[in-house]
Amino acid sequence: MRGLLVFGRTGQVARELARRAPEALFLGREAADLTDPESCAAAIRAHAPAAIINAAAHTAVDRAESEAEAARLVNAAAPAAMARAAAELGVPFLHVSTDYVFDGSGDRPWREDDATGPLGVYGATKLAGERGVAEAGGQWAVLRTSWVFSAHGANFVKTMLRLGAERDALSIVADQTGGPTPAGAIAEALLVMARAMQAGTGGGIYHFSGTPDASWADFAAEIFARSAMSVRITPIATADYPTPARRPLNSRLDCTRIERDFGIPRPDWRRGLDEVLAELERTA
């Protein structure tokens, strides 16, 4: 996609975007410091792109609890500054957000217009970023997603493969439910949205996650089954696995709106998992 500027270069979604849009300009930390929001806005003005995707974020959920200011700059102030610069240029701005903006109550899939209620710093800063993007005006879209995985970086799939190679039994949280989402599918969705928005279609907040919804224990079982690993899983409650940041129990996302506006269906994460496992095997 010509004229596309992407913030982020080494993250899961950014790397999948680079595979699909190698002609885009990708700005890593050395070129765009998200702890300096105005430098990000300046980069947009300097490059004058046709569309912008922000695929960079402070995603260390637990560490954010002790790095609140850094998380605020990267997740809230920087996207808002980017969105203002995009609005000045009159170009589409797309921003990746998270299910952590919700409190995880109930068992109904969250809709875009449901009340938010983040449980920790990460979710609160991501929500502030969403609001900053919306307040900037212009043509914008926020894509909330969940449980991202790929063959790159740190994620649940790679953690399970590492632990499964070391142990024959694992205790996995079974009372958190959401939609595991391949980073490649997120990248594809963002590019479809960016092209449509350039043509004047769509905008606003959208949800996008893999199907079917599953617990972490379900997800782990599928990882081990599809990689032919014999690992016994003991389901446990979130309370039995304390972490610095609270996790939402219900991360289900209603993805009706994105299919209606852009024709993008929910991806089957099991197919995405097979692709990731095959890639990891090839690169081992």
Identified catalytic residue from 100, 122, 206, 241:
122
**pLDDT at 245 (0 to 100):** 96
Contact between residue 107 and residue 154 where contact means Cβ atoms under 8 Å apart? no
Residue 192 vs residue 201, higher pLDDT: 192
Separation CA 1–CA 21 (nearest Å): 5
Mind listing the pLDDT tens digit for each residue in 48-61? 999 999 999 999 99
Contact between residue 36 and residue 91 where contact means Cβ atoms under 8 Å apart? no
Where are the chain's structural domains? Answer: 4-155+179-212+252-268
Q: Is the CA virtual torsion 57, 113, 194, 91 positive or negative?
A: negative
Separation CA 26–CA 121 (nearest Å): 27
Mind listing the pLDDT tens digit for each residue in 213-251? 999 999 999 999 999 999 999 999 999 999 999 999 999
**pLDDT at 201 (0 to 100):** 86
Mind listing the pLDDT tens digit for each residue in 75-116? 999 999 999 999 999 999 999 999 999 999 999 999 999 999
Percent of the chain past pLDDT 90, that is, above it, reads 96
> pTM (2 decimals)?
0.97
Of the listed ranges 28-37, 98-107, 128-137, 251-260, the least confidently predicted one is 28-37
Separation CA 113–CA 136 (nearest Å): 19
Contact between residue 110 and residue 68 where contact means Cβ atoms under 8 Å apart? no
CATH number of 4-155+179-212+252-268: 3.40.50.720
* Nearest residue to 169 via CA among 119, 235, 115, 104: 235
Average pLDDT, the chain: 96
| 122 given a catalytic annotation | yes
